[in-house]
Chains A and B, each alone.
Chain A
Amino acid sequence: MDQERIGGDGFAFEGNWRDYAPIAFTNLLLTIVTLGIYRFWATTRTRRYLWANTRFIDDRLEWTGTGRELFLGFLMVLVLIGIPFLFLQFGAQALVLQGHGGLAAILTLAAFVTIFYMVGLARFRALRYRLSRTWWHGIRGGSDDQGFGYGLSYLWKTAVGSLVLGLMIPWSMMSLWNERWNKMSFGPHMFQSAGNDGPTFRRFLLFYLFPIAAVVLGVVFAFAAAPMGGLQPGGNAGRLGAMVLVMGLFVLGIYAGLGLIALAFYAKFFREAVAGLSLTGLNFHFHARTKDWFLLFLGDIGLVIGTLGIGAIFLQYRHWKFFVTHMGATGTIYTDELTQSQTKTSRHGEGLLDALDVGAF
């Protein structure tokens, strides 16, 4: 009985949007009437529901984060970062007005670098926070790393990633993912992350191929259309209208094309990243393909537009469900060896992340 062999996917989502709706609507109302302050408690209620309806093997997850600690984290960020930046903003304005533009530029650059560092730090700490509040079989995750080193890595790896026309971006993304997860643990076991960015590179190259293809296509089309335009009975006005229409479609096509490439790349990236992740005897997988991501976002857009925006309160639910239903695990876990995590837990939540508005996963 101490050993669980995993059949099927390991993960399952057993929630239901009708059960979630009362939570979503009351969250919305309370968030509005409290000028946004309730959103910390709203997040907590949502996560409690989502986690409690996520089954891993034989039992459900459990979220023990509180709105209070998220709120404390927010206040901390407000005091530690918000107020200095407010002064900096006024200071830089004053410097520019007095003609010390160079100094103002240096200050602004320093502020930008600091913010960038904070984004990295925030990502790390948000993941740590979420793992430390996630329980399964009475055991939680966490990390003993504070994430300050990760912040530096984030800074330089992102900078390097943008070199050589951005060709290093897949490497920088994957290496940061690995670095983040290798510092995390669940119970006594460290996560091991060995995601490989190599297989994602072909799709990444599409970003470079697409503009070239678009230009070639555009030129070919222009040459093909030029003589035909002359034959149109509408004359000049008709030709102009057709040109504008074609140009509009062309621009729209470029945006849609780049969006699809981004989706295809990210789908592959996420599959590779999760496939590289393991926890002692467990290996994780993510099954969503580009089509699944596409349908997810198409559904999101339809939901939000169709409900004039109100449907946005269900996005978190939809994304979690998508995440869980496409998540899989194989291998063996020994519950008697899965002992309690000894990592420290902070009493404040993901304030930094919340303030900088970046995602954790």
Chain B
Amino acid sequence: MSDFRFWHYDGVTAVRRSVLLHPAGAGFVLEEPESGWIGAPTDWSDLTVVGTEGSRSAYGHSAIPGWRMGFSGEASPQIAAHLPRGERYGRWIDRFGFWQAAGAFTLVAALIVWGALEAPGVIAPLVPQSWENRMGDAMVGDFGGRFCHTPAGDAALQALVAQIDPHREARQVALANIPMVNAVTLPGGRIILFDGLLQQAGSPDEVAGVLGHELGHVRHRDTMTGLIRQLGLSVVLGGAGGNVGGYLNGVLAMSYGRDAESAADGVAIDRMGEARVSPAATAAFFERLGGKDDGTEARAMTWLSSHPLSADRRRRFAAAVKPGVPYRPALSQAQWQALRGSCAADPDVAKFWGRGL
């Protein structure tokens, strides 16, 4: 055999040996002539690749941790034929080739992202309503005692609900003592109007528009879709790691999506038309909330932050006003005052900052 030298560590001590390789049977024996050291017989099939970096190659032993042999330059063809080949990008990618694998991954990634965005809309209607109700009840309970109740206010709210939601699609419509210009639909078909919204609204018709819109979310089960989407995205984008995933997740999950909002507007216009409440005030309400001097900070606290305003939306409500229809106010003046004063008049209601939050 040639006098081509390998370096060798036996994995037991750190002593470096300069060895000759003698083929023997299905493998080889290493020998260091200077010291007379001879290693145990090794099969070619026991060799694993440790690394090939530049002209340096290093191999390990599948059963002996730390056992290494290697060389610089080119091994003789007889030996090279027995040496295993190393991984480059990883086993799967090496098998398909870099560009093929990258292409396949791109396709799969696109499918997964598309699935994560679309699937919730498909899955949500399949979740039994009773599950959603129970989950919603567990999450919300009595809202920490923040619901406003006065006999006259409750009656006025019921009157409004009876017009906009005659079939009682929402399980609960309640007024909460929270000074934000907002309204939310929670899982389990619960719509909660915030007192701040009532104070900001100029007429009961505006509240009717918001209520109709939220009713659309209840009907289409958008909150369930949103919850599933948020869960799915956090799993999918969890792989991306770091803040990028978090930001993307937040942006994607923040609103129900344009289509859902547009559909909810459709429901609102539909319900208002049936109840003969004019959509004109809602259009004006959008304009008032969205426009003018209040900065983005103020807007972040309003209904518009989760329901982005577009000129199209406002125009759609404005265009829904049909001439010749005998519109009537959603509530009488007395009812409207009772509803607006409900939170201030309720002595038992928890204050927004009073507990917990």
Contacts and interface: CB of A to CB of B under 8 A. Distances in A.
Contacts of B143: 97-99
Nearest to B112: A35
B14 interface: yes
Contacts of A52: 51, 53, 56
B42 to A, nearest CB: 14
A101 B10 contact: no
B36 to A, nearest CB: 14
Contacts of B240: 35-36
B9 to A, nearest CB: 3
Question: Which bracket fits the contact residues of A?
Answer: 35 or more
Contacts, number: 137
A135 interface: yes
Chain B's interface: helix, strand, loop or mixed, by majority? mixed
A98 B142 contact: yes
Interface in A16-60: 19, 26, 29-30, 33-39, 41, 45, 48-49, 52-53, 58-59
Chain A's interface: helix, strand, loop or mixed, by majority? mixed
A39 B15 contact: no
A90 interface: yes
Contacts of B40: none
Given A98-B140, A99-B141, A138-B67, A39 B241 contact: yes
Contact of B16 (A45, A335, A339): A335
B139 to A, nearest CB: 4
B245 A36 contact: yes
A144 interface: no
A340 B65 contact: yes
Contacts of A53: 53
A338 B93 contact: no
Given A62-B68, A335-B16, 8 more contacts: A33-B106, A34-B109, A49-B53, A52-B53, A96-B356, A96-B357, A97-B140, A99-B356
12 contacts: A30-B89, A33-B109, A35-B236, A35-B239, A36-B237, A67-B90, A96-B144, A97-B143, A98-B142, A138-B10, A139-B66, A336-B14
B242 A357 contact: yes
A139 B139 CA distance: 55
Contact of A354 (B51, B68, B241): B241
A135 B356 contact: no
A42 to B, nearest CB: 9
A76 to B, nearest CB: 13
A339 B12 CA distance: 5
Nearest to B238: A78
5 closest Cβ pairs, A-B complex: A101-B356, A99-B144, A138-B9, A98-B141, A137-B14
Interface of A: 1-2, 19, 26, 29-30, 33-39, 41, 45, 48-49, 52-53, 58-59, 62, 64, 67, 78, 82, 86, 90, 93-102, 104, 135-140, 187, 333, 335-340, 354, 357
Contacts of A49: 53
Given A35-B239, A67-B90, A136 B356 contact: no
Nearest to A64: B50
Contacts of A99: 141-146, 350, 355-356
B155 to A, nearest CB: 26
Contacts of A339: 12-14
Interface in B58-80: 58, 65-68
Contacts of A90: 139
B138 interface: yes
Contacts of A41: 89-90
B113 interface: yes
B131 interface: no
Interface in B86-107: 89-90, 93, 98, 101-102, 105-106
